[in-house]
A = this chain, B = another copy of it.
Amino acid sequence: MSHRQPLNLLPEAEQQLRLDRMRRLMADASLPAILVTDLANIYYITGRVYTGYIYLPSEGKPIYFVRRPVELEGDGVVYIRKPEQMTESIGLNLPEAVGLELDLLPYNSAMRLSSALGGIATPNASPVLRAARAVKTAMEQDALRMSGVKQEHVYRLIPKLYREGMRDIELQVEIERALRLEGCLGQFRISGDSMELYMANILTGRNADNPTPYDFAMGGAGLDPSLPVGADGEIIKDHTTVMVDANGNFTGYMTDMTRTFSLGTIEELAVKAHDTSVAICRAIAEAARPGAEAKSLWKIAETMAADAGLAEYFMGHTQKAGFVGHGVGIEINELPVIAPRSRDIIAEGNVIAVEPKFVIPKVGAVGIENTYIVGHDSTECITRAPESLTPLV
């Protein structure tokens, strides 16, 4: 049986859009060519994940160097076993410099590639790739919309999944199952290797205030010190909240959505903080227009939290997160970043997860997170589950 398949799974015009965009950014950065090897970037350029490289010159067609899987075919496909074969097998006419993903490539891999390229200059191509991916094409936006619809379906089921006396992790397992049955791919792609999570982060009661080592917006002690984040196995108690921030990767593109549920009556301070979160999302969505400074969006959130007398609880209590929003797409930590010292400028086609959250000691975490597509003169919310604090029973 043959497994021959076209390497490039993107429609030709779609790939051209992405290549053109990358090439404009390469020109701005004076990069005559780049060599791509990160799996998320390979997926961006071809619509599939393979191991190997993509050589993209400023002019001419890309060359796809493939290590695995076997039997991919198409224009520019060259099978290799080791990077040294790139120059040996096709006699690449290399320019004076080839950009590499130096923010991601392990040091020794970068050195080996540089040597395989004959020791020419290998400046950093990571910013070009990050900038290209920050502005989503119409096709990418559609993939994100589809993820949002499916994620919303699952979020609407959550109250039905709760049973009295459940531990936080038990509810999480039922949510994970519902996500998977809805088609969630289960892969939670994160650029770099300093964040680890795979399906969901559920926080209830006092566990919400446990600090974690990771750069996620919220914490939790986790079940084990080998993975100190999220649910810690406690029973969900009356008068606490349950914040659910669960995997929205149904299409290779992830939406990011958080909703908060409640058990019994909830302290007024927490209700107020939740409503403030919803209001901050609205305000940021209103202000997130092309040309706006990302840091000005952070300022809106910070000011609204302070004006509501909630500064102490905003983005964490014992430990605070340093951002209130982030780009999302193939990976969970894309550009732009909405943070106090961000230098990012909002652009049409950005897809931004906005997550103004509060931690109220003993009660739990409250607030919501929505994913928005930035349009020319409006933003579109693509995570549309009900935003109010929702009773579990």
Contacts and interface: CB of A to CB of B under 8 A. Distances in A.
Interface of A: 1, 3, 9, 38-39, 43, 47-51, 67-71, 100, 102-108, 110-111, 124, 126, 169-170, 172-174, 176-177, 180-181, 183, 185-189, 192-194, 196, 198-199, 206, 209-215, 219, 223-228, 251-252, 318-319, 330, 361
A228 B1 contact: no
Contact of A43 (B51, B177, B226): B226
B193 A193 contact: yes
Say whether chain A's binding surface is mostly helix, strand, loop, or mixed: loop
Contact of A176 (B110, B170, B177, B252): B177
Contacts of A177: 173-174, 176-177
B193 A39 contact: yes
Given A51-B215, A224-B251, 4 more contacts: A3-B211, A51-B194, A68-B319, A102-B106
24 contacts: A38-B193, A39-B213, A43-B226, A48-B225, A49-B196, A49-B213, A49-B227, A68-B211, A68-B212, A69-B219, A70-B211, A102-B106, A107-B107, A107-B111, A170-B181, A177-B177, A185-B224, A185-B226, A187-B198, A189-B196, A198-B198, A224-B251, A224-B252, A226-B330
Contacts of A180: 169, 172-173, 176
A70, A103, A105, A215 pick with most chain B CB within 10 angstroms: A70
Contact of A1 (B71, B173, B209, B212): B209
Contacts of A185: 223-224, 226-227
A126 B107 CA distance: 11
A170 to B, nearest CB: 7
Contacts of A105: 106-107
Q: Which 9 A-B pairs rank lowest in CB-CB distance, beginning with the nearest?
A: A226-B252, A69-B211, A107-B110, A48-B225, A102-B107, A173-B180, A50-B213, A198-B198, A51-B213
A193 B104 CA distance: 9
A106 to B, nearest CB: 5
